[in-house]
Structure 1
Amino acid sequence: MGNSIFSKEPPPPMVLVPPIFDFPPIAARTRMMVPAYELLFGKLALQTLFEDYFEKASHLNTRILLKPLEDPHVDLIATVTGPLGKNSGRTIEGNALFRWQRNLDDPNTFMDLSVSTNETMLRLRSCSYYPKYRFGAFGIFPLLNLKRELPEDYGVMGLRYGSEKLSIGSTFMPFPLSRGTPTSAWLVGRAGRLSVGVQFKPLRESKKPMCFKDLNNWSCAIGYGAGSSSPLCPSYNFSLELVRSSKLIASFYQHIVVQRKVKNPFEESQVVGITNYIDFGFELMTRINQDKSSGGADNSSFQLAASWQANKNFLVKGKLGPFCSSVALAFKSWWRPSFTFSITAINDRLRGTSFGFGLSVEDLREPSYQRADPNYVMLTPNKEHLAEGILKDLGKRPLYQSNIDSGNYDNLPKELKPLGKVI
């Protein structure tokens, strides 16, 4: 009896569930201003996979993303990109974006102001979405623009209806000079794992009167996929898109959640494994019209990319195309603010091998480092790894994997929840 009093049961084995490097992606904060056709069919995930952390050759890209503690409704993103070397002959480009968001948990109602050294302009964007009525409105207004050559240089507005199954909307130019000319319209529907959509978007350089019967102004797509946009849920998406009756684009994206054994002397003894995230994407474009003027090299192209997040600190990405290939390595520290350093090696067939570098300081996302049992049956969001090994209590209610599969993400931290059900 005495031995049973002093004996303690060993702690259950745990599996680390690290946070995603950049989730949700920055582009998701403005998705209500972008036609649903441009974001569905795996396009947002493919854009993140093909572009993030792949820096330009012989360039240094620095970015600061800060949110003041006194007012979390506002944040600032400043980017400075410049060439490496004195004889490059290129100038340094800078961009700044100041954003106000009404609800911290709802990024669909916001207002931002951006300025850039690349163009002499000051741009205001605003978006409001009402979940009760599933109706939204947005606008893009260049306040200072010395070159107002196109009608959209005076401003563009848009209206949309969005639900879990349907999204319909249109953008137009409201000012008298443009006479309310529509710039785009879209209709997207989803039933189960199948998604279909069409988009009307006239060519900017076209001087012909707008015609809805012209097939060159239309694009259509069909997609098949499963899973949610939460990083803890495996997902995949396959889509076919016919662009302006001239190009056929086939794409595939898959997000894989796997677990591997880990032996880390800095972790607790009951930690036996870690969750990894693997992403793979492929895109093939081929021309189907009879126009041979562009040459055989432009008739088809492809690109594929893959990424592997080994833990909360390291990310490896690779990208392959017909003319160049790239490999990127990123290291992230989860201090507050967090620091991210990335290096990209680019192998171009014509220019040879070059390198690009990226440095980022961020205080927008709240990292969470979770524990789960080795069979991935239960996620327990009750601990968070902070600097110097400090543990912070985030709650005691467990979340079972069956709840995640059924779409119940209430007990997940905000940074691990899906982007939203509105399309």
Structure 2
Amino acid sequence: MGNLVGSLWSSEPPPPIVLVPPIFDFPPLAARTRMLFPAYDLLFGKLALRCLFEDYFEQAGKLNTRIMLKPIEDPHVDLVATFSGPIDKKSGHDINGNAVLRWQRDLNEPNTFMDLSVSDSEPILCMRSSAYYPKFRLGAFGIFPLVVSNRVYPEDYGVMGLRYGSECLSAGTTFMPFPLSSETPFCAWLVGKTGRLTTGVKFKPLGEGTYRMRLKDLKNWSYTIGYGFGSGSPLNPSFNFSLEVDRNSQLIASFYQHLVVQRRVKNPLEESHVVGITNYVDFGFEFGTRIIGDKSSENLDKSSFQVAASWQANKNFLLKGKFGSLGSSIALAFKSWWNPSVTFSFSAANDSNGRKYGLGLRIEALRQASYERADPNYVMLKPNKEHLAEGVLRNFGKRPMFQSEIESGNYDRLPRELRPLGKIL
């Protein structure tokens, strides 16, 4: 009886834990429509670099607002609306906006969808659709401008495409079905992967001439070779380096690395058994130089570069900075994980035109807040919320606490927002 009473009154201290916050924006919105574009334009770290160089660097002198909502009654449908207007009334009263209504057949498979966009710029009304069949690894897609003020170019009438996609090969073509044009195919690409090496080629004709002449013109071809590793999940570090010859006139070298690091918690508001927190650090650069001179553009810069880095300190705070040949910028973002979540961002840019500032506001209900507090009914808690950290003070910083499950490639129990983007190259 005494032992029973003693056990009731005694309580062991909770084990030390390491917090793993959610990613601010994963998967990126651009990944939802990746099946509409050649794989060549998204692989080799290009999608990650685009997010690093552009996200939260708001347009100078403007307030940029984005609203992303999904009805609880029908999660297959969502709406993304974007508005931007001047901060200072003296700058004018121009307000730009667009809205995209999207339907997705399977919540876990974003590659089959249809959306309808309305914009105050060209095209005014546009429909896009994609269908991918994993069994055959074949897909078809199309972009059809429905309302355009003036149809000048063949692509103003619509672009269609076919593709094949597997884990190690991606091939496809886009063409303009109407009106019949000698410029088809509009684009063709082939990308292959073996081990950590990825190579790709893209053909996109420009100018006039017969189709055979365009095939022989090296300016219509682009080539890329890249080396990298990583699963595509933000819980895993990734590394990517690539060299691209763009249209036989420019050499582009790019590098991107995503780091998952841990640091000690210095927040007095946290509980005493919280000893560490996981941070996400991203770094990338892009350097381009002309390899074929042009007498008509001798006064133009022959090279350009930009370098950027970001640091997500916790689930609420993100810091980004970049600088390059065109100027430098810094961005701060604060996110509150309500439902829907609200994100405030501030950016400052310094270039040849002086220093300018931008503000951003995002309201979102598309991504779920998969983070931090333990749920005893959820088996995969340790990789994405809280981690038992026995011996963490001894081995602090040497390895992530969720390493065993992630390295085994078992992502099935992870929330959808933390899984790799897919097994399609």
Normalised by the length of structure 2, the TM-score is 0.90
Shift of 1:60: 0.9
Shift of 1:299: 1.0
CA distance, structure 1, for counterparts of residue 55 and residue 150 of structure 2: 31
What secondary structure sits across from 2:163 in the alignment? Answer: strand
Q: Work out whether residues 314 and 330 of structure 1, in 8 Å CA contact, stay in contact via their aligned partners in 2.
A: yes
What's 2:367 paired with? Answer: 365
Q: Work out whether residues 175 and 184 of structure 2, in 8 Å CA contact, stay in contact via their aligned partners in 1.
A: yes
Q: Work out whether residues 20 and 385 of structure 2, in 8 Å CA contact, stay in contact via their aligned partners in 1.
A: no
Q: 1:28 to 1:209 in 2, by over 3 A?
A: same
CA distance, structure 2, for counterparts of residue 414 and residue 89 of structure 1: 42
Q: Which amino acid aligns with 1:362?
A: E
What secondary structure sits across from 1:380 in the alignment? Answer: helix
Q: Work out whether residues 83 and 97 of structure 2, in 8 Å CA contact, stay in contact via their aligned partners in 1.
A: yes
Q: Which amino acid aligns with 1:161?
A: Y
What's 1:16 paired with? Answer: 19
Shift of 1:379: 5.3
Question: Which of residues 293, 302, 310 is equivalent to 1:299?
Answer: 302
What secondary structure sits across from 2:105 in the alignment? Answer: strand
What's 1:84 paired with? Answer: 87
CA distance, structure 1, for counterparts of residue 268 and residue 289 of structure 2: 51
Question: Which of residues 120, 125, 144 is equivalent to 1:122?
Answer: 125
What's 2:279 paired with? Answer: 276
Q: Work out whether residues 381 and 411 of structure 1, in 8 Å CA contact, stay in contact via their aligned partners in 2.
A: no
Worse-matched range after superposition: 113-122 or 138-147: 113-122
CA distance, structure 1, for counterparts of residue 158 and residue 315 of structure 2: 42
CA distance, structure 2, for counterparts of residue 207 and residue 90 of structure 1: 41
Q: Work out whether residues 63 and 84 of structure 2, in 8 Å CA contact, stay in contact via their aligned partners in 1.
A: yes
Deviations 1:73-122 (CA, angstroms, capped at 9, x unpaired): 00001111112223324621110100000000110000000011123521
CA distance, structure 1, for counterparts of residue 21 and residue 384 of structure 2: 13
Q: Which amino acid aligns with 1:419?
A: L
CA distance, structure 2, for counterparts of residue 33 and residue 287 of structure 1: 29
- Does residue 422 of the first structure (1) align with residue 424 of the second (2)? yes
What secondary structure sits across from 1:370 in the alignment? Answer: coil
- Does residue 322 of the first structure (1) align with residue 322 of the second (2)? no
Q: Which amino acid aligns with 2:117?
A: S
Q: CA RMSD in A?
A: 1.9
What secondary structure sits across from 1:112 in the alignment? Answer: strand
What secondary structure sits across from 1:21 in the alignment? Answer: coil
CA distance, structure 2, for counterparts of residue 421 and residue 120 of structure 1: 32
What's 2:410 paired with? Answer: 408
What's 1:112 paired with? Answer: 115
Shift of 1:269: 2.7
What secondary structure sits across from 2:405 in the alignment? Answer: helix
What's 1:389 paired with? Answer: none
- Does residue 240 of the first structure (1) align with residue 232 of the second (2)? no
- Does residue 191 of the first structure (1) align with residue 194 of the second (2)? yes
What's 2:209 paired with? Answer: 208
Name structure 1 gaps, 5 residues minimum.
Answer: 373-377, 385-398
CA distance, structure 1, for counterparts of residue 100 and residue 134 of structure 2: 26
What's 1:94 paired with? Answer: 97
Q: Which amino acid aligns with 1:209?
A: T
CA distance, structure 2, for counterparts of residue 26 and residue 275 of structure 1: 24
What secondary structure sits across from 1:10 in the alignment? Answer: coil
Deviations 1:175-198 (CA, angstroms, capped at 9, x unpaired): 243368210000000011000000
CA distance, structure 1, for counterparts of residue 93 and residue 241 of structure 2: 40
Shift of 1:296: 4.5
What's 2:65 paired with? Answer: 62
Question: Which of residues 264, 278, 298 is equivalent to 1:261?
Answer: 264
Deviations 1:204-243 (CA, angstroms, capped at 9, x unpaired): xx23333211111000000000112111100110000000
What's 1:353 paired with? Answer: 355
Shift of 1:132: 0.8
Name structure 2 gaps, 5 residues minimum.
Answer: 375-379, 387-400
Shift of 1:131: 0.6
Shift of 1:160: 0.3
The residue correspondences of 1:39-78 to structure 2 (distance < 5 A) are: 39-78=42-81
Shift of 1:337: 0.5
CA distance, structure 1, for counterparts of residue 33 and residue 205 of structure 2: 22
Worse-matched range after superposition: 151-160 or 268-277: 268-277
Q: 1:321 to 1:90 in 2, by over 3 A?
A: farther
What's 1:34 paired with? Answer: 37
What's 1:229 paired with? Answer: 232
Deviations 1:269-299 (CA, angstroms, capped at 9, x unpaired): 3211110000000000000002142235431
Q: Work out whether residues 197 and 221 of structure 1, in 8 Å CA contact, stay in contact via their aligned partners in 2.
A: yes
Worse-matched range after superposition: 1-10 or 351-360: 1-10
Question: Which of residues 335, 339, 356 is equivalent to 2:342?
Answer: 339
Deviations 1:6-28 (CA, angstroms, capped at 9, x unpaired): 43332211111000000000000
CA distance, structure 2, for counterparts of residue 215 and residue 186 of structure 1: 15
Q: Which amino acid aligns with 2:413?
A: N
What secondary structure sits across from 2:49 in the alignment? Answer: helix
What secondary structure sits across from 2:297 in the alignment? Answer: coil
- Does residue 169 of the first structure (1) align with residue 172 of the second (2)? yes
What secondary structure sits across from 1:298 in the alignment? Answer: coil
Q: Work out whether residues 383 and 402 of structure 2, in 8 Å CA contact, stay in contact via their aligned partners in 1.
A: no
CA distance, structure 1, for counterparts of residue 31 and residue 280 of structure 2: 19
What secondary structure sits across from 2:215 in the alignment? Answer: coil
Worse-matched range after superposition: 267-276 or 17-26: 267-276
Shift of 1:382: 8.4
What's 2:398 paired with? Answer: none
Percent pairwise identity: 69
CA distance, structure 2, for counterparts of residue 351 and residue 271 of structure 1: 47
Q: 1:275 to 1:110 in 2, by over 3 A?
A: same
Worse-matched range after superposition: 400-409 or 20-29: 400-409
What secondary structure sits across from 2:244 in the alignment? Answer: strand
Q: Work out whether residues 17 and 371 of structure 1, in 8 Å CA contact, stay in contact via their aligned partners in 2.
A: no
